[in-house]
Structure 1
């Protein structure tokens, strides 16, 4: 009888463990994409939103272009080109999915403020000037009120400014503190962060690392932008070392607000750039990322973007085409919509 009782409790224990293991394997973080289209057409835009609705449980509106500074500072009518773009995003809002709104105050090179629609940067003495603060707050206020996000990145990749134009860093920090305080007062339930590039935080001098760690602690969650190929990281061991560094820098919830890696060789002759890669490498990166997301209980992961944009690149301004090449071949679908190896990794994790 004791043998049967022991066997019963052994089986009960095994069933319990099996149940716990199954539950532990369920996806415990959100997965999503930006709405960046793959070609210059309404069909591409609509297809992108449809893809997100079917293959994600969060998504990101990524606003990293000209800011209507003059209208915002002087409180005049906003440019139609700007309001039309935002109206389009509002009309396509995926109400079933939480929304991350990521906004940039910095230009593409992350050296100064973003340009106005006339190509000019607003005049200022310090980045923390009152008119800059008020203008940018009105900008965020407009976007938040129109799009009603669940998460906000109020300024993107801000550590790049410290790296690229360090004389403006202290001014920016004051501006960031002021904007954050005003946003928290007006939108107390909104989760707010600034984003930081892991590829220009990891393996940097100790003083730089510590400064970014201290400043990033002011955010509600640690928002990370990471493109490992930019720092020539290509293996699982290299990816994991970067993630281990990240985990050592914070006790906040972690969110990858934009990330991907190339699925084929990157060649930009005009910039003397050649970076090797493959579908297999992209797959390993995504596997390693999602394994860490599960283990560390990340808030979410946003892949930028879902499909290669070879057909969109010809419409880039001539001066931006070389930069555009950097992320062209990073989709989980190639330019023809064919699934890459990494897509199966995404689906396997998303369908848990």
Structure 2
């Protein structure tokens, strides 16, 4: 049934939802949501979106950015997750490269790394009958936590999952922790954010309490919003494809799982994502009010588009000067990481 849902998604061009691939903006230790002003932050992140990204972000991001690594040129939001590393048997680390999702459009092959971003209204098969309210300038949120340390807790983070890819079309099963075997097509990480807002706060001390999570597994319809968080917002989700295949011949001789998040999480329980809203004017609301689907929402119907070359051209200068790729003796910022 789940495979059928995905098949229907690609065959249903008239129902509302956004899906697009953003190229990489920066890979560095900055986190303006959880660690505003800290240069560097605690661990390495991979960031996509608008070039207003910096250690301290306030106000309307769309008015501060001049370019974006995303295909809809009115989207100056920033989206980021931790970075995945491979740990060699000799104790050194190498950043796992990201590759684009071949399913999301003709320009995808030209996009440099990055993530697939979703804004859905209900699921892949219907527009739903609820009013979807777009995020507001200054809005931000996180999902998951790097402090999650048990399998049961990870299972409780519905929508934060891993997929061991056989090929580009693999979407199931979804796992709450790192796959323990070699994945022929790499590893996909999935981050579904909560979509129920309290209608008042653009942020909260833990960056999560102003939202309520009714997410279920995969792209199935989320539950209804509670009275405490009555405003239904777009269902935001990230998919990131990690090219773990380049390390297939370096797999530990004891067969142990060799991948680790940049905050030294060897199990994958603490996978998490961050978001800062930055759509220009009412562009996202127009999209949520429309009946377009995926790439058909571009070229002025109702969103403005740009080419993959324009996406790739957008960048920022790193604030933190340190090596994050190549073979490293330790994870950046994790000098006490266990060997």
Q: TM (normalized to structure 2)?
A: 0.27
Higher percent of residues as strand: 2
Which gives a bigger RCO, structure 1 or 2 (Cα 8 Å, sep 6+)?
2
